[in-house]
Amino acid sequence: MKRAVYPGSFDPPTNGHLDIIRRSSRLFDGLIVAVLENEGKAPLFSVAERVELLRTVTADIPGVEIQSFSGLLVNFLSRTDSSVVIRGIRAISDYEYELQMALMNRELAPEAETIFMLPAVEYTFVSSRLVKEVCRLGGDVSNLVPPSVLERLRARLQTGS
């Protein structure tokens, strides 16, 4: 069984993330969407909330499971018997960072491979950070996130909880 891991903060999950999840899930027997536990980033949603949001929006995608992890990604790959890392790339700046991470992962775990995927054209500019910022300022992000995420995003940003 060939399993892949798509790691990230997913704070919040966007339609760009879902595009990568849908497309990469068709390439492997199983896909783990791995939510990084990195409180240093000051996330809007807790890890448990992000896991719940992802489970909701991926419920109709066969072979996808949602987990959280902390520490080194290569250790998570080993624990889940996965050998491939999926990373979405939107711009050259993403590539430079992701290349460094892929090479470090290869140094730590030579058997691990990284596959870079481009999102659909309509999502090439979408980032979780930008979605939060635009939504916080009252902009319409309804075409950038799934409806269930939009509802939670608006509730969180309006109440500040």
Could you give the CA distance from residue 26 to residue 43 in angstroms, rounded to a whole number? 30
CB atoms within 10 A of CB 48: 10
Q: Which of 2, 41, 55, 79 is labelled catalytic? A: 41
Catalytic site residue 132?
no
Question: What does the block give as tokens for 7?
Answer: 């790691």
Q: Which of 90, 106, 136, 154 is labelled catalytic? A: 90
Could you give the CA distance from residue 20 to residue 18 in angstroms, rounded to a whole number? 5
3-state secondary structure of 155: helix
Q: Which of 9, 17, 24, 132 is labelled catalytic? A: 17
Residue 89: φ, ψ to 5°: -130, 125
Q: Which of 9, 25, 82, 128 is labelled catalytic? A: 128
Catalytic site residue 90?
yes
Catalytic site residue 128?
yes
Question: What does the block give as tokens for 32?
Answer: 């783990």
Catalytic site residue 24?
no
Which positions are annotated as active-site residues? Answer: 17, 41, 90, 128
